[in-house]
Amino acid sequence: MNVDEAICKRKATRAMLSTPISAVTIKELIELAGRTPSWGNSQPWDVSVVTGDKLATLKMRWRKEFSQGIPPARPDIAAPGHKDWDKVPRCSENIIRWKKHRLEEMDISSEQHDKYSMDLMLDFYHAPVCIYLGLHQSHGAYSFYDIGAFSQTLMLAAAERGIQSIPAFSLVYFGDILHEELNIAEDISLFMGICLGYADDSHIMNQPNSERIPSEQFMHCYR
């Protein structure tokens, strides 16, 4: 598989098979992601690999938190709210179009979709591995850029090996639990969780392929 193919093969995969990923492969993926460019080669990422009993504990604690309904999020880094997206109408429109497209492709109601979403999210998408990416609290926007790039390198290297992924805010919903369970220092902000696994291709939630707007809508050329 070449890079172009890996880019096109990667998709946010919301239902994985329980098939494990070997420790050797995980190490390989992290080493490859470590080749990501960063400001002054600062390599600001802090990586936690969660599998086995620890992953089961996180799932159990997530379920407990959600047992009485949807609780407020307690992430290290706040999620954008609706009002933030509304300031950039093109982005809000993309979000609305994305959900509409999913519902059409799956031929289900929004409520059914949200129920699938919630069940899978609470089981960390059935994934055998969850990678947490953190960075020191003192780091600013350029280190955020570096972590984003690290994520994509990781997901593309995984795609090349037939391993799918999902980066998800839901995985960092309770920052306090993650700090406690993973023994992560207070001055590290957990930025993103990425589940890795082999896709369950028969699952309805994996059916849609997300669309993109044409480059003419966001590219500006000057000569």
Kindly list the residues in this chain that would bind ligand FMN in the complex (CB under 6 A): 11-12, 14, 98, 166-170, 192, 210
Closest separation between CB of residue 1 and ligand FMN, Å?
A: 17
Closest separation between CB of residue 98 and ligand FMN, Å?
A: 5
Closest separation between CB of residue 160 and ligand FMN, Å?
A: 16
Q: Which is nearer to ligand FMN, 48 or 165 (CB)?
A: 165
Q: Which is nearer to ligand FMN, 23 or 91 (CB)?
A: 91
Q: Which is nearer to ligand FMN, 133 or 184 (CB)?
A: 133
Closest separation between CB of residue 54 and ligand FMN, Å?
A: 20
Q: Which residues contact 103 (CB under 8 A, 6 or more apart)?
A: 109, 110, 113
Whole-angstrom Cα distance, residue 132 to residue 167? 10
Q: How far is CA 3 from CA 14, 159, 198, in A?
A: 23, 9, 19
Q: Which is nearer to ligand FMN, 183 or 191 (CB)?
A: 191
Question: Which DSSP string do the residues of 79-93 spell out, in sequence order?
Answer: PPPHHHHHTSHHHHH
Query: Where are any strands of DSSP class E within the chain?
Result: 46-50, 129-136, 164-168, 188-197
Query: Of 1, 166, 180, 173, which is closest to residue 76 (Cα–Cα)?
Result: 173
The span from the first CA to the last CA of the chain, in angstroms, equals 35
Specify the residue for token string 């492969």: 25
Q: Which is nearer to ligand FMN, 110 or 210 (CB)?
A: 210
Closest separation between CB of residue 71 and ligand FMN, Å?
A: 15
